[in-house]
């Protein structure tokens, strides 16, 4: 007999060799119908897995966090079987589940086209209807090499040869398709209800340019068609909101062939950028920060001292000046160290908060570049806080409060992650433990739930990352707080304590926007280009109906500008409907229609974005309303 402890804490006894599926059936018919896989002593297994000893068991259903990955991985196998049927002779790479679905890499003499995706999907749906079981088989290394070698599966043979000598080698078969796979999988293809092939791409085998380019087919899968349709809607909405498209349409910014990865900001984009930077400066002054500016190019010795030369060299740009090596800064931190070190500090000066809107350059691979989201030069809203050890907790809480204030202004929800010591790191385990505990204590003092990312810290210290959630439910890592005991040591930073002796300060690195450029990209997509009034490059558009209204429009433009409102006058000889539609495309918050009646009565006919026609309004009342929205930073 085997004793099975279930997730609810209860235990049951069964004959040795009982399967996970049989236990699910014994618990309830409803559970057996929903069951997709099992988790035995923390390891995921198929429903057909037989138990040989006492275990802890969890039945995996669609509600389980692991379920969707299993479901999508199984769908990837169905994709591969469909390709095998339609394009005989294809050789198979790998087909994992990924964040938004799954993919499979193929080596085929046939070049896949978008039309082929429809054929492949139709074949996948046939396989689903056939409801074929996924059958697991464990084989020896020799058998695996022979089976896949005889089929000409060179990629599978390569993978097998790299497995450890003691590895358990498993294969899965559904219908005529056999794959090398650790599993687990859903019990049969009939479980897969809502599947969709999405796109084609090229992918080097194992991500190396030295290897052959394979054809990658991307797909996604959900537990029901409603979820799939909602996902597809979000994708279409994301395309509509694409910041690259809106950046061009709204004349905000562009990436040009002459500078791949180096963004150009146009006049309207600079208004948006300057508003964000002005807001940043204002709030940081209130929070006790002093602004500094450090050089873009600094001597190699500085980067060796900071550790960037050893740990980050492949991402840096270099030049020679007066026969010496210099580097274009990838980070602002070392310059901030030099500013601190330039003066003598007392314990009474601390905490010392220094902020910098610093332009940095990092060498990103061309294939990784993406609009403003991944660029080669960007402005980080860095700040470095130098403090006494006893001030750590309060300073971290202060940064958390400031970050929360910023994100609330833009209407962003967010979650927090704590990242610990990475494999490549400077400093002892003791220092890292002290730093990590300080961050943890601050989060717990704030009562903030957080996720721990083991090994994902910076090379000089642990960090707290803030992940924004936009209106489409996508998350973006922006703000970060990094606690650093090491840089002050490397740069010999000191302060004079109460005892008259020199001591080391503790340091915080932190950003809120992260990258100004990337944050603008996120805002553009979040608001679909319809920025709140305080950020809108043009806040009010005056639209004249008659020639006589033009002089009134000029008078109004002057009044609005004097009130600090950004305004444009459209006095072209075009129909008013055309002018309104054009202003709507430009996503102008306020459109004021001016005709003879408005000119005579000294009023304006107001159309507000999102609210439509508000009717006639006095000019003073209108100015008061717009100015209040700007001052309140209303969303």
Q: Tokens 């004079």 belong to which residue?
A: 496
Residue 587 pLDDT greater than 80, yes or no:
yes
Residue 306 CB neighbours (<10 A): 24
pLDDT of residue 18: 93
pLDDT digits (tens, 9 = 90+) for 10-21: 999 999 999 999
d(CA 570, CA 576): 10
Band of the pLDDT at 307, cuts 50, 70, 90?
Answer: confident
The CATH class of 253-526 is alpha beta
- The CATH fold of domain 540-632: Rossmann fold (3.40.50)
d(CA 32, CA 37): 10
Mean pLDDT, rounded, for 489-493:
92
- List strand residue ranges (DSSP E) for 121-180, in order: 135-139, 169-174, 177-180
pLDDT digits (tens, 9 = 90+) for 379-396: 999 999 999 988 988 999
pLDDT digits (tens, 9 = 90+) for 512-537: 999 999 999 999 999 999 999 999 99
Residue 424 pLDDT greater than 90, yes or no:
no
Contact 205/155 with Cβ under 8 angstroms?
yes
d(CA 383, CA 283): 13
Residue 423 pLDDT greater than 90, yes or no:
no
Instruction: Give 208-238 as a DSSP string.
Output: -TTSPEEEEEEEEEESSHHHHHHHHHHHHHH
Residue 437 pLDDT greater than 80, yes or no:
yes
| Structure tokens given for 415 | 């979650």
Interaxial angle between packed helices 392-409 and 267-286, expressed in degrees from 0 to 180 and rounded to the nearest 10: 140
Q: Tokens 């969890």 belong to which residue?
A: 58
- The CATH fold of domain 67-233: 3.30.980
pLDDT digits (tens, 9 = 90+) for 92-143: 999 999 989 999 999 999 999 999 999 999 999 999 999 999 999 999 999 9
pLDDT digits (tens, 9 = 90+) for 227-267: 999 999 988 998 999 999 999 999 999 999 999 999 999 99
Antiparallel, parallel or unpaired: β 194-204 and 213-222: antiparallel
Helix (H, G, I), strand (E, B) or coil at 510: strand
pTM: 0.80
pLDDT digits (tens, 9 = 90+) for 164-173: 888 889 999 9
d(CA 334, CA 491): 9
d(CA 277, CA 295): 19
Q: Mean of the per-residue pLDDT values for the chain?
A: 94
Mean pLDDT, rounded, for 263-289:
97
Band of the pLDDT at 433, cuts 50, 70, 90?
Answer: confident
Interaxial angle between packed helices 114-130 and 67-86, expressed in degrees from 0 to 180 and rounded to the nearest 10: 110
94 vs 90, 98, 155, 156, 176, CA distance in Å? 13, 12, 8, 8, 18
Which stretch of DSSP H or E encloses residue 605? Answer: strand 603-608
| Structure tokens given for 459 | 């090379």
Band of the pLDDT at 427, cuts 50, 70, 90?
Answer: confident
604 vs 547, 601, 607, 631, CA distance in Å? 16, 9, 9, 22
306, 307, 310, 314 alpha-carbon torsion, rounded to 10°: -70
| Structure tokens given for 502 | 């020199």
Band of the pLDDT at 425, cuts 50, 70, 90?
Answer: confident
pLDDT of residue 23: 94
pLDDT of residue 428: 78
Q: Tokens 């990838």 belong to which residue?
A: 330
pLDDT of residue 492: 94
- The CATH number of 2-60, from 3.40.50.2000, 3.10.20.30, 3.30.1490.20, 3.30.70.920, is 3.10.20.30
Which stretch of DSSP H or E encloses residue 557? Answer: helix 548-562
Q: Which residues of 132-147 are buried (b: 16+ CB within 10 A; e: fewer)?
A: bbbbbeebeeeebbeb
Q: Which residues of 355-376 are buried (b: 16+ CB within 10 A; e: fewer)?
A: bbbbbbbbebeeeeeebbbbbb
Band of the pLDDT at 586, cuts 50, 70, 90?
Answer: very high
d(CA 440, CA 392): 11
pLDDT digits (tens, 9 = 90+) for 343-373: 999 999 999 999 999 999 999 988 888 999 9
Mean pLDDT, rounded, for 213-235:
94
- Gyration radius of the chain over CA positions: 30
d(CA 69, CA 428): 37
d(CA 147, CA 35): 31
Q: Where are the domains of the chain?
A: 2-60, 67-233, 253-526, 540-632
CB neighbours of 301 closer than 8 A, spacing ≥ 6?
none
456 vs 420, 437, 467, CA distance in Å? 6, 15, 15
* CA-based nearest residue to 598, from 554, 545, 557: 545
- The CA-to-CA distance between both ends of the chain, in Å, stands at 64
CB neighbours of 602 closer than 8 A, spacing ≥ 6?
618, 619
Contact 78/192 with Cβ under 8 angstroms?
yes
Antiparallel, parallel or unpaired: β 2-6 and 55-60: parallel
Q: What percentage of the chain has pLDDT greater than the value 70?
A: 100
pLDDT of residue 216: 96
Residue 334 CB neighbours (<10 A): 21
168 vs 47, 137, 153, 161, 606, CA distance in Å? 19, 10, 19, 13, 72
Mean pLDDT, rounded, for 330-355:
95
Residue 471 pLDDT greater than 90, yes or no:
no
Contact 614/607 with Cβ under 8 angstroms?
yes
Residue 460 pLDDT greater than 80, yes or no:
no
DSSP alpha helix (H) spans, 250-391? 267-286, 300-306, 308-311, 333-341
| Structure tokens given for 341 | 């070190």
d(CA 250, CA 241): 12
Q: Which residues of 399-425 are buried (b: 16+ CB within 10 A; e: fewer)?
A: bbebbbebbebbebebebbbbbbbeeb
Active site residues: 333, 362, 380, 382, 384, 463, 509
Contact 599/548 with Cβ under 8 angstroms?
yes
Mean pLDDT, rounded, for 397-420:
94
Mean pLDDT, rounded, for 41-50:
95
Band of the pLDDT at 311, cuts 50, 70, 90?
Answer: confident
pLDDT of residue 458: 77
């Amino acid at each position: 007999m085997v004793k099975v402890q279930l997730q609810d804490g209860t235990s049951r006894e069964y004959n040795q060799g009982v399967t996970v599926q049989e236990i699910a059936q014994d618990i309830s018919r409803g559970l057996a119908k929903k069951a997709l896989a099992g988790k035995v002593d923390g390891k995921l297994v198929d429903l057909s897995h037989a138990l040989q000893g006492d275990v802890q068991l969890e039945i995996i259903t669609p509600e389980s966090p692991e379920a969707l990955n299993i479901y999508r991985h199984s769908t990837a196998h169905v994709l591969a079987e469909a390709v095998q049927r339609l394009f005989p002779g294809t050789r198979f790479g790998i087909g994992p589940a990924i964040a938004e679905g799954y993919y499979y890499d193929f080596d085929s003499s046939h070049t896949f086209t978008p039309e082929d995706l429809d054929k492949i999907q139709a074949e996948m749906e046939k396989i689903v209807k056939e409801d074929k079981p996924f059958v697991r088989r464990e084989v020896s290394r020799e058998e695996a090499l022979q089976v896949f070698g005889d089929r000409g599966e060179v990629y599978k043979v390569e993978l097998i040869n790299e497995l450890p000598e003691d590895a358990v080698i498993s294969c899965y078969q559904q219908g005529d398709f056999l794959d090398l796979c650790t599993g687990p999988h859903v019990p049969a293809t009939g479980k897969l209800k809502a599947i969709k092939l999405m796109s084609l791409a090229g992918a080097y085998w194992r991500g190396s340019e030295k290897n052959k380019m394979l054809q990658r087919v991307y797909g996604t899968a959900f537990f029901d068609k409603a979820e799939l349709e909602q996902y597809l809607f979000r994708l279409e909405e994301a395309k509509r909101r694409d910041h690259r498209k809106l950046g061009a349409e709204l004349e905000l910014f562009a990436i040009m062939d002459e500078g791949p990865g180096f963004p150009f900001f146009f006049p309207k984009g600079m208004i948006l950028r300057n508003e964000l930077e002005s807001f940043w400066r204002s709030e940081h002054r209130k929070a006790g920060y002093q602004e500094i500016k450090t050089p873009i190019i600094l001597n190699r010795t500085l980067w060796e001292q900071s550790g960037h030369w050893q740990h980050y060299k492949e991402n840096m740009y270099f030049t020679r000046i007066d026969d010496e090596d210099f580097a274009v800064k990838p980070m602002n931190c070392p310059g901030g160290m030099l500013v601190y070190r330039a003066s003598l500090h007392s314990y009474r000066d601390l905490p010392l908060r220094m902020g910098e809107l610093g332009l940095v350059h990092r060498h990103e691979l061309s294939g990784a570049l993406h609009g403003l989201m991944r660029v080669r030069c960007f402005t980080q809203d860095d700040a470095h806080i130098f403090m006494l050890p006893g001030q750590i907790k309060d300073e971290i809480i202060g940064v958390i409060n400031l970050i929360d204030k910023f994100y609330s202004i833009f209407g962003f929800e967010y979650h927090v992650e704590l990242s610990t010591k990475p494999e490549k790191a400077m400093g002892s385990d003791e220092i890292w433990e002290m730093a990590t505990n300080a961050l943890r204590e601050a989060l717990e003092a704030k009562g903030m739930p957080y996720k721990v990312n083991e090994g994902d810290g910076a090379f000089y210290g642990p960090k707290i990352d803030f992940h924004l959630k936009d209106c489409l439910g996508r998350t973006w890592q922006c703000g970060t707080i990094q606690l650093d005991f090491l840089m002050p040591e490397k740069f010999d930073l000191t302060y004079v304590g109460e005892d008259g002796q020199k001591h080391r300060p503790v340091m915080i690195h932190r950003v809120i926007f992260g990258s100004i450029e990337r944050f603008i990209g996120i805002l553009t997509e979040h608001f679909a280009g319809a920025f709140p009034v305080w950020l809108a490059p043009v806040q009010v558009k005056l639209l004249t109906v008659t020639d006589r209204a033009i002089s009134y429009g000029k008078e109004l433009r002057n009044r609005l500008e004097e009130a600090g409102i950004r305004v444009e006058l459209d006095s072209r000889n075009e129909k008013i409907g055309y002018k309104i539609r054009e202003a709507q495309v430009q996503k102008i918050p306020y459109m004021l229609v001016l005709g003879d009646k408005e000119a005579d009565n000294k009023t304006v006919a107001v159309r507000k974005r999102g609210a439509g026609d508000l009717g006639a309004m006095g000019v003073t009342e209108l100015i008061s309303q717009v100015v209040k929205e700007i001052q309140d930073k209303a969303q």
